[in-house]
A = this chain, B = another copy of it.
């Protein structure tokens, strides 16, 4: 892995929702970048932070409803749109997620998901398919980043539903998930295919076990969680400048 032994120069960032991404785009003064394939709904931005070259992709919107392309399909295609012509030292997926009160999560907590990315809604009870469908693609290790900037660390499990059925909860528990999102493992798959080191960063908007619906909690806490997420992303990017991936 010679690639990893040089200082971080290029960072890729993939967001699902433009409303999650806009505060960071604004904070870093990123500018729109033309997509090589204008059919794709994903939108690209670029800029610099100190010595770092940054490219950011947002999954865009469903033109039929003018609504954000959340979920794994758009995450896959947008990640590929970003990585096809750009080989960053690290790809980061910041986003909002559900947390678990049973694991002492609080609204606005930001997790570095360095303990694994997996799926909880791809159930195929044939052993080799089962293992493949679970995900668990590589993620980077960032012990200094976590301890110096006081982040929680954990494992993210991905599924295409905002709600959580009993079956989903069973598989989230089997997966030993700390946060539940809708994109990370799909992005991790493309990062693995493209041989790019990956770091998911997730801010808690809702509690998975709550009697209140995830949708209500999501709407109530979204902007607070995004605010913490943006502040964290700026600190994470600052921390990465002049470091190697092994030094994170």
Residue ranges of A at the interface with B (Cβ–Cβ < 8 Å)? 37, 39-41, 62, 64-73, 76-77, 80, 84, 119, 121-126, 128-129, 131-133, 160-163, 165, 167, 186, 189-190, 193-195, 213, 215, 218-219
20 A-B pairs whose Cβ atoms sit less than 8 Å apart in the complex: A39-B193, A39-B194, A65-B131, A65-B132, A67-B132, A73-B189, A77-B77, A77-B80, A119-B160, A121-B121, A122-B160, A123-B160, A123-B161, A123-B162, A124-B162, A124-B215, A125-B162, A125-B215, A126-B162, A165-B167
Taking the closest CB of chain B, its distance from the CB of A207, in whole angstroms, is 16
Indicate whether A215 sits within 8 Å of B126 (C-beta atoms), given known contacts A77-B190, A132-B62: yes
Is A133 within 8 A of B77, CB to CB? no
Indicate whether A161 sits within 8 Å of B124 (C-beta atoms), given known contacts A67-B132, A84-B37, A131-B65: yes
Is A73 within 8 A of B76, CB to CB? yes
Taking the closest CB of chain B, its distance from the CB of A93, in whole angstroms, is 14
Question: Within the assembled complex, what's the spacing in Å between the Cα atoms of A146 and B108?
Answer: 54
Residue of B nearest to A189 (CB): B73
Residue of B nearest to A40 (CB): B193
For the complex formed by this chain, how many copies does it contain in all?
2
Taking the closest CB of chain B, its distance from the CB of A248, in whole angstroms, is 24
Given contacts A65-B131, A76-B77, 6 further A-B contacts (CB under 8 A): A64-B131, A67-B132, A76-B76, A77-B190, A123-B161, A126-B162
Question: Within the assembled complex, what's the spacing in Å between the Cα atoms of A153 and B39?
Answer: 30
Is B213 within 8 A of A160, CB to CB? no
Give every chain B residue within 8 A of A69 (Cβ-Cβ). Answer: 132
Give every chain B residue within 8 A of A160 (Cβ-Cβ). Answer: 119, 121-123, 133, 160
Question: Within the assembled complex, what's the spacing in Å between the Cα atoms of A70 and B189?
Answer: 13
Taking the closest CB of chain B, its distance from the CB of A174, in whole angstroms, is 14
Question: Within the assembled complex, what's the spacing in Å between the Cα atoms of A190 and B131?
Answer: 26
Question: Within the assembled complex, what's the spacing in Å between the Cα atoms of A210 and B74?
Answer: 33
Question: Within the assembled complex, what's the spacing in Å between the Cα atoms of A175 and B218?
Answer: 26
Is A132 within 8 A of B195, CB to CB? no
